[in-house]
């Protein structure tokens, strides 16, 4: 890495600070004039050229053959030693409160939740419309405009492209929500399962209820809200269970919200 020809392994300007010079001012002035000449007169360019050359020469003389520095108060070329710090004693300050390494659990929970949600959704398709493909095709309607206009028959058949797309969307969303569960469930006041398994789905379903027409018009045409809610609860419960079984996260219940969120004060003490 370090090259013996480099400057000494310390901070430049330990021995002095650069001396003032008018070089840069003249150089800048000259360069500007040379450009200004393009819209004024060739004479301006000549003046500019003279200024620029003078400036660059003055500049070079400040740097070469050796940089001209002004001397400093004596002793200034030695860095200040670091203060005497005491070894770690108190632990009044913390960086990582809340859960320990639960991210993997979250991803796993997301996957598991995703599966159970899919089971409910596919069940709805089978029972109500006699097709396992319908819910899958409908999901891809977030992204594919033609799904919004397609007939029920088309939507009830297997469509490889839509299938892949729906799986992708489902996977990404479930993984992220799973991650979210791992970090939020420990913060819930009590009974994380109820919060994650019911409250979350209620909120989410409500949000979608208000916006489904724009978010996914295809789904809007067929959706059955009880079933939809059911599938969300299935996700929430499965995911929540997987996550909460992975760690003893209820160590924190009983602490005030600030602390559970880890924002107010270190959690584990």
Q: How far is the CA of 12 from the CAs of 9, 108, 164, 220, in angstroms? A: 9, 53, 59, 67
- The distance of Cα 80 from the centroid of its chain, to the nearest Å, equals 39
- Under rule CB under 8 A, residue 42 binds another protein: no
Q: Is 40 in the site for another protein (CB under 8 A)?
A: yes
SS3 call for 16: strand
Stretch that binds another protein, among 91-99, 129-137, 195-203, 229-237 (CB under 8 A): 91-99
Structure tokens at 221: 């045409």
Residue pair 175/111 in contact (Cβ under 8 Å)? The answer is yes
CB 146 within 8 A of CB 246: no
Residue closer to another protein by CB (options 127, 161) is 161
Report in angstroms how near the CB of residue 185 gets to another protein at its nearest.
Answer: 10
Is 39 an interacting residue with respect to another protein (CB under 8 A)? yes
Half-sphere exposure of 108 (CA within 13 A, CB side): 11
Q: Which stretch binds another protein (CB under 8 A): 116-124, 142-150, 153-161, 230-238?
A: 142-150
- Binding-site member from 46, 57, 84, 163 for another protein (CB under 8 A): 84
∠ CA 67-69-73 to the nearest 5 degrees? 150
The correct pick among 53, 103, 104, 251 for binding another protein (CB under 8 A) is: 103
Half-sphere exposure of 69 (CA within 13 A, CB side): 11
Q: Does the footprint of another protein cover residue 82 (CB under 8 A)?
A: yes
User: Could you say whether residue 153 binds another protein (CB under 8 A)?
Assistant: no
Q: Which 199-238 residues touch another protein, going by CB under 8 A?
A: 210-211, 213-216
Binding another protein (rule: CB under 8 A), the pick from 42, 130, 145, 160 is: 145
């Amino acid at each position: 890495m370090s090259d013996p020809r480099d400057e000494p392994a310390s901070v430049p300007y330990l021995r002095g600070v650069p001396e003032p010079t008018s070089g840069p001012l003249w150089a800048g002035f000259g360069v500007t004039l040379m450009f200004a000449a393009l819209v004024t007169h060739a004479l301006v360019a000549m003046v500019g050229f003279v200024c620029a050359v003078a400036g660059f020469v003055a500049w070079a003389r400040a740097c070469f053959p050796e940089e001209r520095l002004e001397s400093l108060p004596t002793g200034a070329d030695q860095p200040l030693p670091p203060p005497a710090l005491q070894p770690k004693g108190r632990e009044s300050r913390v960086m990582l409160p809340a859960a320990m390494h639960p991210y993997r659990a979250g991803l796993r929970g997301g996957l598991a939740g995703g599966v159970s949600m899919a089971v409910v959704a596919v069940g709805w398709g089978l029972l109500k419309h006699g097709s396992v493909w319908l819910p899958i095709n409908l999901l891809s309607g977030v992204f594919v405009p033609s799904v919004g206009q397609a007939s029920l028959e088309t939507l009830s058949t297997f469509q490889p492209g839509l299938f892949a797309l729906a799986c992708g969307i489902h996977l990404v969303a479930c993984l992220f929500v799973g991650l979210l569960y791992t970090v939020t469930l420990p913060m819930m006041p009590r009974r994380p399962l109820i919060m994650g398994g019911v409250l979350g789905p209620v909120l989410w379903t409500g949000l979608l209820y208000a916006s489904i027409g724009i978010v996914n018009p295809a789904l809007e045409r067929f959706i059955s809200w009880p079933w939809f809610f059911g599938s969300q609860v299935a996700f929430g419960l499965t995911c929540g269970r997987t996550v909460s079984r992975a760690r003893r996260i209820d160590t924190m219940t009983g602490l005030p919200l600030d602390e559970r969120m880890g924002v107010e004060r270190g959690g584990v003490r």
